[in-house]
Chains A and B, each alone.
Chain A
């Protein structure tokens, strides 16, 4: 079993896999990550940039979410197992500093999530965006693709299977 984490930070795509449920294998892993937090195994940390990006509407008709769905997702982001870290001047300055320390980090938007993880004392940043956030260890934070290193199934996994999800 992979190393258990104690305080994962998640990138926007981890939220999006959960909400879209697609593609199923990746969405399932992300669901388990959130389910673990809901059951109190660990808190999830995220940048407020995630809250801005995750429901950002680009104006495309095919990008539909019902009003009820929107309200539910917004309420979900306020669950107590999610700790939000604001993008403030401290985060901005550390983001600049990290770009010099790790030249492989080319994009400020992505580096903000890594800095969030570092400043919040996380042990891992979970993201599938390994093109802009290459897997590795940065200032004590391991960047990895989402994984769930705890015993399964959790109760909801059984429920979801029964519902044919």
Chain B
């Protein structure tokens, strides 16, 4: 079970602050769920099994959707608590999306000494907990500072085609499951749009100019190229490539061959 608490004197915590904080924490739990489960959708629902006033506290029990493996809720709970602890220690939680982090920051901005003073997340099974206060905004404000730009690519599922404020697609990155908005460059825009229509819903490689946030996560991309990654059914299997190139190393052991490539 997961306990979410907004800490402060009884009767002084604004209801809207409580709701905003709970909403941001729920988003954080769902982000962690998706990433721990390597899925674009969360596997767990949560129901309230206790609400308390004093500090405002909600106790939540998980309800596993179809396909959630045994113990998955415990894993998600542990990770959420650990990532709040990371935030307190000065690091941006890796599983939380940028939107979640910004919502968390907006909630924390309304914390003060008289009302909501801090938020606490606890794993009621293990007893582990983490608490953050308004001071965590220093870490979250890093979301606004410039990162760096690099050419590169993102591999993942092409989920959305958008036409609002310029053409773009959204790619859900394979590993992080974070959405990356890929804006079309003006040149070749119509060609890219046709390509995107063909590839909608499939796994793609999107290449272009990547803008990273200061926390080292890709925030968006100017798209230059869109390629299909694989039609799984037609791709070679492990059995098809096992021993397919016996002379690839010229007879050398693969480690020796690799070291020769790297160091001569």
B-binding residues in A (CB < 8 A): 11-13, 16-23, 26-27, 31, 34-35, 38, 43, 45, 53, 55-56, 58, 60, 62-65, 69, 72-73, 75-76, 78-80, 83-86, 88-90, 107, 109-110, 120-121, 128-129, 131-132, 156, 159-160, 165
A147 to chain B, nearest CB (A): 16
Is A90 in contact with B254, judged by CB distance below 8 angstroms?
Answer: no
A76 to B232 CA separation, bound complex (whole angstroms) = 10
CB-based contact B175/A62 at 8 Å = no
Q: Which residue of A lies closest to B210 (CB)?
A: A88
CA distance A63 to B251 in the complex (A): 8
Q: Of all chain A residues, which has the CB nearest B174? A: A83
State whether A18 and B238 are in contact (beta carbons under 8 Å apart), knowing that A64-B247, A69-B244, A73-B244 are contacts in the complex: yes
B235 beta carbon closer than 8 Å to chain A: yes
Is B241 a contact partner of A72 (Cβ separation < 8 A)? yes
Q: Which residues from A are CB-within-8-Å of B262?
A: 53, 107, 109-110
Could you say which interface size class chain B belongs to? 35 or more
| Ranked 9 nearest A-B pairs via Cβ | A21-B243, A16-B254, A90-B216, A13-B254, A63-B250, A109-B262, A78-B230, A65-B245, A34-B238
Least CB distance from B32 to A in Å reads: 12
Query: B130-172 vs A: 1/0 string, CB under 8 Å?
Result: 0000000000000000001010110100000000000000000
B203 CB to nearest A CB, Å = 6
B212: chain A residues within 8 A (beta carbon): 88-90
Report B's interface with A, CB cutoff 8 A. 38, 94, 148, 150, 152-153, 155, 174-175, 203, 210, 212, 216, 229-230, 232, 235-251, 253-255, 257-263
Partner of A85, one of B175, B235, B237, B258: B175
A132 B259 Cβ-Cβ under 8 A: yes
State the CA gap A26–B254 with chains docked (Å): 10
Find B259's partner among A69, A72, A129 (CB 8 Å cutoff).
Answer: A129
CA distance A148 to B255 in the complex (A): 19
Whether A19 contacts B250 by the Cβ 8 Å rule is no
Q: When the two chains form their complex, are residues A58 and B175 in contact, meaning their CB atoms are under 8 A apart?
A: no
Q: Which residues of B contact A107 (CB under 8 A)?
A: 262-263
B241 touches A20 (CB 8 A): no
State which of B94, B216, B235, B257 has its C-beta within 8 Å of the C-beta of A79. B235
Within the complex, which residue of B148, B240, B241, B261 is in contact with A58, where a contact is CB–CB below 8 Å?
A: B261
Chain A residues, Cβ within 8 Å of B230: 75, 78-80
Query: What are the residues of chain A within 8 A of B244 when measuring CB–CB?
Result: 19, 21, 65, 69, 72-73
Quote the shortest CB–CB distance from A28 to chain B (angstroms): 9
Contacts of B229 in A (CB 8 A): 78, 80
Selected contact of B239 from candidates A73, A89, A132, A160, CB within 8 Å: A160
- Pull 19 A–B residue pairs with CB atoms less than 8 Å apart, ordered by A: A16-B248, A20-B254, A21-B246, A26-B254, A56-B261, A64-B247, A65-B244, A69-B244, A69-B245, A73-B241, A76-B236, A84-B174, A85-B175, A88-B152, A88-B210, A109-B263, A110-B262, A128-B255, A160-B239
Which of chain B's residues have a CB closer than 8 A to the CB of A31? 238, 242
B201 to chain A, nearest CB (A): 14
Distance in Å from the Cβ of A111 to the closest Cβ of chain B? 11
State the Cβ distance, A19 to closest chain B Cβ, in Å: 5
A79 touches B232 (CB 8 A): yes
Chain B residues with Cβ below 8 Å from A75 are 230, 235-236
Q: Is the CB of B245 within 8 A of A19?
A: yes
Which B residues touch A89, using CB under 8 A?
A: 148, 150, 212, 216
> In whole Å, how far is B121's beta carbon from the nearest beta carbon of chain A?
20
Q: How far is the CA of A107 from the CA of B259 in the complex (A)?
A: 10
The chain B residue sitting closest to A62, CB to CB, is B250
Contact in complex: B245, A23 (CB < 8 Å): no
CB < 8 Å neighbour of A16 from B152, B216, B249: B249
